[in-house]
Structure 1
């Protein structure tokens, strides 16, 4: 009898302990949303809301209610989860070496050594290993987006030619700092739904014209990618904006509110936050070509490096042609088909290690293999010049402007499609 009572007491005690442990775990973090095969945690939501509030406090900016901030944070985390899951299915992985390279770039951009950077992260109250993994996720998302959106961008020679003509005719040197609010419309919306969403957009404009803070309204109401940044797109020239914006922003003055502008995504509202003139300066340009090899599960970091060392040795010995090697092996789709040639460019556009390596070369010289966040490279400096603008650089610039414009438009479409196909369950 005594043994039976003792056993019962032990079982009850174990059950109570199990319940207490479960309760403690639940308090530490809970699943807020199930996103296909992933989850959004309450802790992640709190971290984003806390970060937005901290930034707003520094900028002395008013914020909407916690419920609105929570909704925006959840939406941001849903999209991140979907992209990370897609990255996993695509086999996109960021190695420790690649991650270390990116962190070194960040440290250098802040004028710090990697140890100083590490300490600054710790001093801010953040765990450095968690910070590393956060950066790894950001790189993974960026790579996934680039891989999926880039294939949707098509640019014809005629488009480049037309834009070149516009640039040559355009005398304005203005850049516009634009704020953006998107009142989204579902792809399967009825005409009544569209009318309702347009009414919402017009009410938002009334609020803004009545003196409401644009950033606060954007955080509260916008479905755009920059909602949590107050809808701020930064400074853009007319040619760098989506076509819909460029047609309506040109000629406007600071403080003007434009919209609602209808697109496939919904109704856009734009405010001219600031305008500045563009400076004309001489720049040092480099002409180079490279081969990019990306390490993978099959190809290790060391093998990728050795592969490039052999390429350079073969080219120097006259046993191989650099252009043909680039066409066959380079994993940079933008330059591989051109034999690795990057054309004339300001070296500032390249990754820090790429720019630094080019700066150490003389025309005709090859580099040793080096690592950037994109993979392993060898680069040959073909020529240098100091230039304001030439036909080649104008054409490259026109192509890049078109690419950036179309990439921004297709990115929004791709994210909406990714979101609409997902199985999402709020708990």
Structure 2
């Protein structure tokens, strides 16, 4: 009997130890490495994503010796960005918008070249700065998809009449300070849709307080990151360089002729009260434009045709042309894809700045009469024939294009803000409180 009791006790003890150990393991497994920071329709924003972006912003701020607002204010801006990104990615998925690995690699390669680095050097520089390269790479993919979704969705809301272009051209001709550009910073103090008088008063008071802080020497970028509801909040409210014609009319009337450091506002708009600061001023000169006369053969890799086979197909074409065995135009008509194939690949006279970055760079290395070896752009694989270069006075055409682009950018900015607000209003968004 004692032996039986002893055996039973040992069994119970082992069971208890096993259960305790199992419970410890389960308990350990229940400790979440990640958690949901927000639900956005059928998607989620993870706490790890929030922390990654916060860390990145703080790292960049430290690198640039830029002060930041409180963690709470910064987190609010970061959550807004990540929620917007989630919405745009979901819309992009429904629209079938994708960015292939090849397109992504080409974009990052172009970014590296803009910094005078090879792709490998660019990657090492990011890692040295504390970046996770794979996360950085995917973030670039997100930005590309988000940008494409925004352009597609907002573009259809924009209409620019010929009369608007004509009116702006007349105004540009009349202005004597058209060679001056202003580097602007912008802070938007929002008020809600269907705002009450109390809402308007509260927003106006906040805007007045911001102006008071700025006039007393407070850091503009820090306040923009903490308080602005504008699209450029996380960039310190930086609107970039603009001349008077590129600014919204409400801004231009107040900015025209002002000195560096001037703060204007609050300016009431449909979205809230705007505060604008002149960060810098510079002159601008009109120069001649170089145009190139080129032709190309484009082959688009696919599931059926690999990148290697597409390049191999193009590889021997210049040699055949040089040997007199083939004609560039005939090869383009037979093999090239896209609308230029029927014209023998002829692209006509064009400003190379209007081409894909990789295409533009390839042209920059070429002499008249040369063929460029196969290379990759965002459209596919090409070879190029450069037939001629010329310098042209394109002032009239440039002014017309510029006027159209100015009107487009002005309307795009406003419509983009309205569109994302409408998209958020229609979405199911639930933000979870951060653990204290």
- Shorter chain as denominator, the TM-score bin is 0.7 to 0.9
Asked whether the equivalents of residues 296 and 332 of structure 2 are also in contact (C-alpha less than 8 Å), the reply is no
Q: Name the counterpart of 1:333.
A: none
Q: Name the counterpart of 1:83.
A: 88
What SS is found at the alignment partner of 1:385?
Answer: strand
* Cα shift at 1:73: 1.2
Asked whether the equivalents of residues 261 and 279 of structure 2 are also in contact (C-alpha less than 8 Å), the reply is yes
* Cα shift at 1:325: 6.0
Q: Name the counterpart of 1:335.
A: none
TM-score (norm 2): 0.80
Return the match for 2:419 from 396, 414, 424: 414
The 2-side partners of 1:143 and 1:299 are apart by: 26
Q: Name the counterpart of 1:134.
A: 139
Give unpaired runs (5+ residues) of structure 1: 330-338
* Cα shift at 1:267: 1.4
The 2-side partners of 1:321 and 1:362 are apart by: 26
The 2-side partners of 1:159 and 1:364 are apart by: 42
The answer to whether structure 1 residue 326 and structure 2 residue 334 are counterparts is no
Return the match for 2:390 from 368, 385, 402: 385
What is the alpha-carbon root mean square deviation over aligned residues? Answer: 3.7
Return the match for 1:177 from 174, 183, 200: 183
Q: Name the counterpart of 1:261.
A: 267
Q: Name the counterpart of 2:329.
A: 316
What SS is found at the alignment partner of 2:26?
Answer: helix
Asked whether the equivalents of residues 183 and 201 of structure 1 are also in contact (C-alpha less than 8 Å), the reply is yes
Question: CA, structure 1 residues 156+58, in 2 after alignment: closer, same or farther (shift >3 Å)?
Answer: same
* Cα shift at 1:175: 0.4
Return the match for 1:277 from 277, 283, 295: 283
Question: CA, structure 1 residues 380+405, in 2 after alignment: closer, same or farther (shift >3 Å)?
Answer: farther
Q: Name the counterpart of 2:62.
A: 57
Q: Name the counterpart of 2:42.
A: 37
Q: Name the counterpart of 2:217.
A: 211
The 2-side partners of 1:303 and 1:168 are apart by: 53
Moved more, 385-394 or 109-118: 385-394
Q: Name the counterpart of 2:3.
A: none
Return the match for 2:23 from 15, 39, 43: 15
Question: CA, structure 1 residues 236+349, in 2 after alignment: closer, same or farther (shift >3 Å)?
Answer: farther
The 2-side partners of 1:420 and 1:414 are apart by: 10
What SS is found at the alignment partner of 1:268?
Answer: strand
Moved more, 373-382 or 173-182: 373-382
The 2-side partners of 1:305 and 1:279 are apart by: 42
* Cα shift at 1:301: 6.6
Give the number of equivalent residue pairs.
413
The 1-side partners of 2:174 and 2:71 are apart by: 49
The answer to whether structure 1 residue 112 and structure 2 residue 129 are counterparts is no
* Cα shift at 1:11: 3.5
